[in-house]
């Protein structure tokens, strides 16, 4: 398998501009509309479906996410194989990923929406999402205020750089994608068989 690595497709970065290029803004609007439409139709902007997932009563959220990952993975890696897209990997920092992840989860349990589904909730008239969104803005500000110090402390703990599962498991990417697709489909079949929704 030929892996172009850093794909030939060049990212155009607009330095020091207040507004991104028109083409990019237009694509953001179109894809955002589609995303919101799908989230609402999938019921994942609805409190009882989201909190139902966290209470392990309703498996809609996991079904949506896993299906998106299966379909997305096959397409994005195929496109990357032919150097049509760049990957966008975020660095692995064990301390920050775990502590941040747990804090995020605790917040998720309290609001019952996440950053994207809160937007969908607001769109369908679940007005309580506004409180959560105000909190999300405040929490982002709090992080920015502390970002200097966090960068030097928590974010250095267990810093491993840009790391993918094929690197860690020493399995060729194509093979691992095939395995992951089968495993995730297996999990979905299991969930479908043993849960009510």
Partner 1 sequence: MNTSRMNRRVVTGGLALLTLFPLTAFAADPALDAHSYPGPAWSPYLVGAGIGVLSWLTFYFSDEPIGASSFYATVAGFIGKLFARRHTEELAYFKAEPPTVNWSFVFVLATIAGAAVAALTGGGVMDEWLPQMWRARFGDSIALRGAVAFGGGVLMAFGARLAGGCTSGHGISGTLQLNVASWISVLCFFIGGISVAMLLFHT
The answer to whether residue 181 forms part of the interface with partner 1 (CB under 8 A) is no
Distance, CA of 38 to CA of 100 (rounded, Å): 27
On whether the CB atoms of residues 116 and 39 are closer than 8 A, the answer is: yes
- By CB under 8 A, the count of residues binding partner 1 is 141
Kindly tell me which residue out of 3, 81, 83, 154 binds partner 1, with binding defined by CB under 8 A. Answer: 154
Does the footprint of partner 1 cover residue 2 (CB under 8 A)?
no
82 binds partner 1, rule: CB under 8 A: no
d(CA 57, CA 157): 35
As given in the structure block, the two tokens for residue 105 are 């989860």
- For residue 4, state whether it binds partner 1 (rule: CB under 8 A): no
68 binds partner 1 (CB under 8 A): yes
Say whether residue 100 binds partner 1 (CB under 8 A).
Answer: yes
135 lies in the site for partner 1, by CB under 8 A:
yes
CB of 1 to partner 1, least distance (A): 14
> What is the chain's Cα-based Rg?
19
């Amino acid at each position: 398998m030929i892996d172009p690595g850093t794909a030939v497709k060049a990212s155009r970065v607009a330095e020091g501009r207040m507004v991104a290029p028109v083409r990019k803004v237009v694509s953001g609007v179109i894809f955002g509309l589609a995303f919101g439409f799908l989230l609402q139709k999938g019921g994942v902007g609805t409190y009882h479906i989201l909190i139902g997932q966290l209470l392990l009563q309703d498996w809609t959220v996991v079904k949506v996410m896993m299906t998106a990952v299966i379909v997305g993975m096959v397409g994005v890696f195929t496109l990357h194989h032919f150097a049509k897209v760049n990957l966008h990997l975020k660095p692995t920092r064990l301390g920050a990923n775990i502590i941040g992840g747990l804090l995020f989860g605790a917040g998720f349990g309290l609001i019952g929406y996440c950053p994207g589904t809160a937007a969908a909730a607001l769109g369908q008239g679940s007005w309580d999402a506004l409180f959560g969104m105000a909190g999300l803005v405040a929490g982002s500000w709090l992080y920015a205020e502390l970002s200097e110090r966090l960068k030097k402390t928590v974010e250095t703990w267990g810093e491993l750089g840009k790391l993918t599962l094929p690197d860690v498991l020493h399995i060729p990417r194509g093979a691992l994608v095939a395995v992951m697709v089968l495993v995730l489909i297996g999990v979905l079949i299991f969930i479908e068989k043993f849960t009510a929704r």
